[in-house]
Amino acid sequence: MRAAIIGGGVIGGGWAARFLLNGWDVRVFDPHPDAARKMGEVLENARRALPGLGNVVLPPEGTLTFCGTLREALSGADWVQESVPERLDLKQTVLAEVQAHVDPTAIIASSTSGFKPSELQQGAVRPEQILVAHPFNPVYLLPVVELVPGAGTAEATLTRAKGIIEGLGMYPLHVRKEIDAHIADRLLEAVWREALWLVRDGIATTEEIDNVIRYGFGLRWAQMGLFETYRIAGGEAGMKHFMAQFGPALKWPWTKLMDVPDFTDDLVDLIASQSDAQSGHLSIRALERVRDDNLVAMMRALAANDAGAGALQNAHDRKGLPAAGLAATLEDLKDLTQPVLTQNRVIPLDWTDYNGHMTESRYLDAFAQATDRFMEIIGCDAAYIAADGSFFTAETHLRHLDEAHAGDPITVHTQVLLAEGKKMQLWHEMRRGDTMLATAEHMLLHVNLQTRRASDPRPDLAANLQRISKAQAGLPRPEGAGRAVGAARSPVS
């Protein structure tokens, strides 16, 4: 698949990174002399952050090409993303030239944050292939994309666009009715407008406003949004109680949403000086890296509870299992005689410690996830656990053989050492390429979750485990298996 990126600024560069790191070939057209440098910096941050967001390795990176002409960039494009400055006449001119060179079956999407697709389609020779795909910065991490079809957009175009956006690990929000600024920016505009008044009137500084968001309702919004947050605020009576209790306040003159402060030089200077004092000691690229680190950590925390953007990433990971060579069930395994691939991923940013390498607890985390993957393969999945059966770890032994760092691609292969009655003994080996990083040996007991005591597994689960155990019986016993802590081992390479 090939994407053409028209305009290589912050948004265009983010789109290029999202496509490229999901295996698409990307061609870029931007006549600005610094376009390649700026996009290269965005891609550097994206390569650092995106691969560790999920728990499944991304596909091989596509090929990036900077083109000298628009026509060259559009050659063979399946998706065209227009991200030129927010001027309607410029966008219409660019889209007309795009249609003169691109295949009629290609999707043409605009990143516009304000214009309606019907405005973009005015004068278009093929309005059916044009729609709005409005993302959020950083495009390579934030998943939501507002998909807005115009009156002339073909239903097939919208359907294909949804599928492509989902394939990039993003969430296509279908905006069913055209409206200026779509949905999200209208909400942001309300907060932004009120914030300007609070600064102008000397009620709060830029930092204080940012603090009340990031220390307060912003944390709630990240997991539950607006309405679900207020549902909880209504207590046991729910949303109706909240509306009855706080609805009258909507008539009080608290906000100035219908009144815009004059953008005087004094107001601009005041806001700029406060912003400089707040974070001017950091470069924009450094701020982006801080932002990306925090976004990855928060979204991974949400994933642990299958909530918000984390739930979306979990679903995307599940879809990516086959491409990553990971089995979902026993029938997916092609060769039962070899250790099973149970992890194929990149080490996330938040898995490193003060020594600059993967922290001790995260080795156990990675191996625990490998055990969970193996359990699912043999049939100890969510449904089995809901029926009151599972495995508990009774003993674990880890060996740390080499360093691992954020961004390193790692695999874990799992061998069954023992499958006998209630017992399951697993051996995991973690590698970066051919380098052995760590091993883990786990003794697990099958447990009845009602009695919390060891019990025999269900016959079908026991049969699946025995099937793998017998197939792997011919494998040599791994070096280090059964070793006690402190016993001699090969030196760290």
pLDDT digits (tens, 9 = 90+) for 225-281: 888 888 877 788 777 777 777 777 767 777 777 777 787 888 878 878 888 887 888
In the structure, what pLDDT confidence band is assigned to residue 356 with cuts at 50, 70 and 90? confident
CA distances from 76 to 25, 71, 194 (A): 10, 10, 46
> Where in the chain do CATH 3.10.129.10 domains reside?
323-471
> Is 10 known as a binding-site position?
yes
Considering the domain 323-471 in this protein, what is its CATH number? 3.10.129.10
Q: Are 58 and 345 in contact (CB under 8 A)?
A: no
Structure letter (DSSP) for residue 351: G
CA distances from 357 to 65, 369, 405, 435 (A): 33, 19, 5, 15
> Is 9 known as a binding-site position?
yes
> Is 11 known as a binding-site position?
yes
> Is 12 known as a binding-site position?
yes
The pLDDT > 90 percentage for the chain reads 74
> Where in the chain do CATH 3.40.50.720 domains reside?
2-181
Instruction: Please compute the mean of the pLDDT values over residues 368-389 and round it to a whole number.
Output: 96
Q: Are 345 and 362 in contact (CB under 8 A)?
A: no
Q: How much is the pTM?
A: 0.84
On the question of pLDDT at 490 being above 60, the answer is no
Query: What is the average pLDDT value for the chain, to the nearest integer?
Result: 91
Cα 55 from Cα 18, distance rounded (Å): 17
- Shortest CA distance to 228 belongs to which of 215, 242, 211, 212? 242
Q: Which helix (H) or strand (E) segment is 45 a member of?
A: helix 35-49
Instruction: Please compute the mean of the pLDDT values over residues 314-325 and round it to a whole number.
Output: 91
> Where in the chain do CATH 1.10.1040.10 domains reside?
185-281
Q: Does 185-281 carry CATH code 1.10.1040.10?
A: yes
Instruction: Please compute the mean of the pLDDT values over residues 192-206 and round it to a whole number.
Output: 93
> Is 14 known as a binding-site position?
no
pLDDT digits (tens, 9 = 90+) for 52-101: 999 999 999 999 999 999 999 999 999 999 999 999 999 999 999 999 99
- DSSP lists the bridge partners of residue 447 as 390, 454
CATH superfamily of 2-181: NAD(P)-binding Rossmann-like Domain (3.40.50.720)
> Is 480 known as a binding-site position?
no
**What is the per-residue pLDDT for 488?**
59
